[in-house]
Amino acid sequence: MKLVRIPVKAVGAATALLLSTPAFAGWEPTKPVEIVVAAGAGGASDQMARMMQAAIQKNNLMKQPMVVSLKGGASGAEALMYMKSSEGDPNKVLIAYSLIYMLPLSAKIPFNWRELTPVSVVALDQFVLWDNSAGPKTVKEFVAAAKAASAPFKMGGTGSKREDHVLTVFLEQKTGAKFSYLPYKSGGEAATQLVGNHTEANVNNPSENLEVWRAGQVRPLCVFDRERISYTTKVTDTQSWADIPTCKEEGVDVQYLMLRAMFLPGKVTPEQQAFYVDLFHKVTQTAEYKDYMEKQALKPIFLTGKDMVQFLEEDDALNKSLMTEAGFVAK
């Protein structure tokens, strides 16, 4: 046993020596980095995490490997609690979205994003109103059909009292139509249920409906943003993302954008934070990232430091008011 032990020690010492000599950057991960996804397999967060994993590995942006860990339990609350309990651990990065504001309000999850360490906002995600390609062709016809329907007019979405549900409520308020909201487990499920005619419409992110749109099974009616999506490359035979009108153009003044942001657990050192800010900045420069943004029709953005915190505070206040107005805040 002794014979074996000596070389191990020597290797340990050598590694320690290597680590203690300050290289060009300060801190670097010494263990595989876990990228924590607060959603199920195949969803938008998972896809983004896989893209980052591949971009980092293919471009050698980090010496340690990155592993995707799916913690979509309890509608993503599992991931939030996991990050909260990993205080001081610099080998876990959360890929966050609006659930960080909404879950604590609707389900009283004891979580506050201010307890985590913000790294950067990497993208903004759009929402689009979709219906079956056999359904109404414009927002006007759609609203008229919803108002005229005798049976419940079914709107599919992901989760309850979350972004899709909030959008549905605001759509009801602005149009006066009534929807029955069906909460599914994932955006993918909401997409197939729309194709199979089990729901009348959904408010999926572009990425979640992309494939069925290309197959001509669903139709985008309008995008919930102030301006049209900027990508003009044809996605289907006839249409590009930029061809989808905004909902405001179509007479329904509802807007909502969702952040995609990276967070470290609380109480990590500024050097560790700086490493990840730099890492994800490099990720946004890769071809993989740019390609992904265009394909999924995401809005490019890169915020960090003070700008990010300011953005988060404003976004939090906005989400809180939307949730309160929709009546989704638990008492």
Partner 1 sequence: MEALGLLLHGFAVLLTWKTLVLMMVGLVLGIFVGVLPGLGGPNGVAILLPLTFTMDPTSAIVMLSCIYWGALFGGAITSILFNIPGEAWSVATTFDGYPMAQQGRAAEALTAAFTSSFVGSLVAVLLITFLAPMISSFALKFGPPEFFAVYLLTFCSFVGLGREAKHKTVISMSLGLLLAGIGMDTVSGNLRMTFGSPELLRGINFLVAVIGLFGISEILLTMEERLALRGHAAGISLRVVLGVWKDLPKYWVTLLRSSFIGCWLGITPGGAIAASFMGYNLAKRFAKESESFGKGRIEGVFAPETAAHASGTSALLPMLALGIPGSGTAAILLGGLMVWGLNPGPLLFVEHKDFVWGLIASMYLGNVVGLVLVLTTVPIFASILRVPFAAVAPMIVVSCAIGAYAIQNAMFDIWLMLGFGVVGYVFKKIGIPLAPFTLALVLGNRAEDAFRLSMIGSGGTLKVFWSNGLVGSITTLAILLLFWPVIDNLLGRVGLTHGTRATSP
Contacts with partner 1, residue ranges (CB under 8 A)? 40-42, 46-47, 50-51, 53-54, 57-58, 65-69, 71, 73-75, 77-78, 81, 85, 106-110, 151-152, 154, 159-162, 165, 180-185, 188-189, 191-193, 195-196, 198-199, 210-212, 214-215, 217, 328, 330
Nearer to partner 1, 264 or 308 (CB): 264
Nearer to partner 1, 138 or 192 (CB): 192
**Strand, coil or helix: 126:** coil
Tell the smallest beta-carbon distance from residue 163 to partner 1 (Å).
12
Nearer to partner 1, 149 or 274 (CB): 149
Tell the smallest beta-carbon distance from residue 88 to partner 1 (Å).
17
Nearer to partner 1, 137 or 214 (CB): 214
Residues 6 or more apart whose CB falls under 8 angstroms from that of 322 comprise 166, 170, 256
- Helix, strand and coil percent figures for the chain, each rounded to 5: 45, 20, 35
Tell the smallest beta-carbon distance from residue 297 to partner 1 (Å).
13
Tell the smallest beta-carbon distance from residue 97 to partner 1 (Å).
16
Are the C-beta atoms of 183 and 193 separated by less than 8 Å?
no
Tell the smallest beta-carbon distance from residue 41 to partner 1 (Å).
3
For residue 296, give the nearest of 40, 39, 41, 44 by alpha carbon.
Answer: 44
Backbone φ and ψ of 156, nearest 5°: -90, 155
Give me the residue label for tokens 């108002």. 147
Please tell me the distance from the alpha carbon of residue 272 to that of residue 91, in angstroms, as a whole number: 9
Nearer to partner 1, 184 or 256 (CB): 184
Pull the structure tokens for residue 21: 């000599």
